[in-house]
Amino acid sequence: MALDAHPLNSLGFAKAPADTRVVVAMSGGVDSSVVAAMLADEGYDVVGVTLQLYDHGAALAKKGACCAGIDIHDARRVAETRGFPHYVLDYENVFRDAVIDEFADSYLAGATPVPCIRCNERVKFKDLLETAKDLDADCMATGHYIQRRTGARGAELHCAADMARDQSYFLFSTTPEQLDFLRFPLGHLPSKAATRALAAQYGLAVADKPDSQDICFVPNGDYAAVIEKLRPGAGRPGDIVHADGRILGRHDGVIRYTIGQRRGLGVGGLAEPLYVVALDVDNARVVVGPKAMLATRTVPLREINWLGDEPLTARAEWPVSVRVRSTRPPTEAVLRPLSDTTAEVELLSAEEGVSPGQACVFYETGGSRVLGGGWIWRGV
């Protein structure tokens, strides 16, 4: 007589938790530590993996970063306390090639990159995910605040229940194939306080550990210093020029400025407040102008990752909501595909400070589903 099928466990597999191997990407912070402890407590076959992404010897004293040596120690301690194996993988070369070098080159080209997205796309959800499969894992779990739901046509990506913690902007490039293998156990929680309460419940020493603030390889948020170190001579001085052609002052390098910046320009005393409206890298010029010059309604995109049920090019236009920066709420727009990976977005209301190098992420208007996104560029 055939045995009845095992009911689905909390990770969506028709077998007992003890027969389900899950690799947990552990950064050493409270979020991924709670995920690992929670799954171990539920009886899953948990394997913790921490990535060493750069030489953490110089970063041991650094606060507010996600990958320093102390974090590796914290992840290992959680694994020892909860009784599951933990491995540290040296991904320094991969991280430099896939993330840090592009970060530096993008800034040198006058763009404003988002390296955390590239890290998820090219390291965590690519190489680490393949490592998880090599370990015969059924899935990989992370501490990201985003939800994976099963829809009519497979796994869907949805915003976190707590929009204050939602990380969908940084995960838009997750492919359908990756989404099949990934799990996000914290996405449904109402708040970070709920995560910390779980950490305390599981007796984790990281329960009160502060959240990381900086990009992990940028100490104290000093982008320019990192780029100068990676690309000596990058801080070439030049003129600060008004959009009408007037030279207003000097700067110590285009890499120290971003589109939309107002503070720290060193050109005070004028009747109108000025903002960075363009970066002329070739001529080492920072172009400033009135706020009105920042308003944009047309956004060219490339390297699009599409997560909709139909192909991107199945329609000439898609009504969506979009985010053009991680800190901004979604705004209504029309997405017009040009190919499978390129498109133009028309914003129904103009946005200020839309910058090449940032991501534009698509959402179902009025809903929580993430439909993908692309990278903003200058167009042809």
Annotated active-site positions, please? 119, 216
**Token digits for 100?**
């840090």
Dist CA 4 CA 150 (whole Å) = 23
Residue 373 annotated in ligand binding: no
Residue 187 annotated in ligand binding: no
**Token digits for 322?**
């979009």
Are the C-beta atoms of residues 161 and 144 closer than 8 Å to each other? no
Residue 173 annotated in ligand binding: no
Dist CA 317 CA 297 (whole Å) = 16
Long-range CB pairs of 106-109 (<8 Å, 24+ gap) are: 106/357, 107/223, 107/227, 107/234, 107/255, 108/227, 108/231, 108/234, 108/255, 108/281, 109/281
Residue 343 annotated in ligand binding: no
- Which is nearest to 162 in space by CA: 147, 151, 184, 143? 147
**Token digits for 246?**
């007037």
Residue 29 annotated in ligand binding: yes
Residue 198 annotated in ligand binding: no
Residue 46 annotated in ligand binding: no
Coil, helix or strand at residue 220: helix
Dist CA 222 CA 100 (whole Å) = 14
Please enumerate, by residue number, every residue annotated as part of a binding site: 25-32, 51, 143
Binding region for ATP: 25-32, 51, 143
